[in-house]
Structure 1
Amino acid sequence: MTISLTLACIWVVAAAIVAFLPMQMQYVPGLTLLILAVPLLVFIGIQHSFWVVLLALAGLVSMFRRPLWFLGRHLWGRLREGGT
């Protein structure tokens, strides 16, 4: 297994551990994992193909669907406020 996929597996285990924390304690490690996901996806893309990145991105969205939904609604609201 390549280093990028090994790091991705470690990232998944870390995300599962963070999910066991109480909600108030999930913010900082969850945001850190979300930020670290971007360079990890790029690294996977460099070592593998676009299709592997799409699979990893699907896993990321699956694990962070609620925070990403909240972030999307927040950004959409800010865009709508700025337009009027």
Structure 2
Amino acid sequence: MSLSLVLACGWLVLVNVVGMFPSKRNHWPQAYALIALGVPILIYLIYQHGPWAGLIFLAAAMSVLRWPVIYLGRWVKRKIGCE
């Protein structure tokens, strides 16, 4: 197993563990840190294993960190005027 796959799987486990802890601020600071940590892992995974492995990891990350993705989608819709 390559280093990028180990890092990606470890990141997914870390995200799930962090999501289990209670938080008064709805996990937003943790989400920002996990996104900042996950983007280089995603790039490294795409570099080593190609775009399909990167898309699978991106889909898994988006399923766990779904609220930042939902708010990003709403922000983009507001900016392009689709509402």
Instruction: Return the TM-score normalized by structure 2.
Output: 0.81
- Bigger RCO (CA 8 Å, 6+ sep): 2
Matches within 5 A, 1:1-84: 1-23=1-23, 24=25, 26-77=27-78, 79=79
Deviation at 1:27, TM superposition (A): 1.7
**Percent of residue pairs identical:** 34
Distance 1:32 1:48, change over 3 A: same
| More divergent stretch after superposition (67-76 vs 13-22) | 67-76
1:5/1:44 contact within 8 Å kept? yes
Q: List structure 1 segments (4+ residues) > 4 angstroms apart after TM superposition.
A: none
Give 2:50's aligned amino acid: S
Look up the equivalent residue of 1:6 and give its one-letter code: V
Pair 1:71–1:21, CA change in 2 (3 A): farther
Cα RMSD, aligned residues only: 1.8
Post-superposition offset of 1:74? 3.0
Residues 62/25 of structure 1: CA separation in 2 closer, same or farther (3 Å cut): closer
Q: How many residues align?
A: 80
User: Tell me, which stretches of 5 or more residues in structure 2 are unaligned?
Assistant: none
Deviation at 1:22, TM superposition (A): 2.1
Structure 1: 5+ residue runs without aligned partners?
Answer: none
Normalized against structure 1, the TM-score is what? Answer: 0.80
Q: Which has the larger radius of gyration?
A: 1
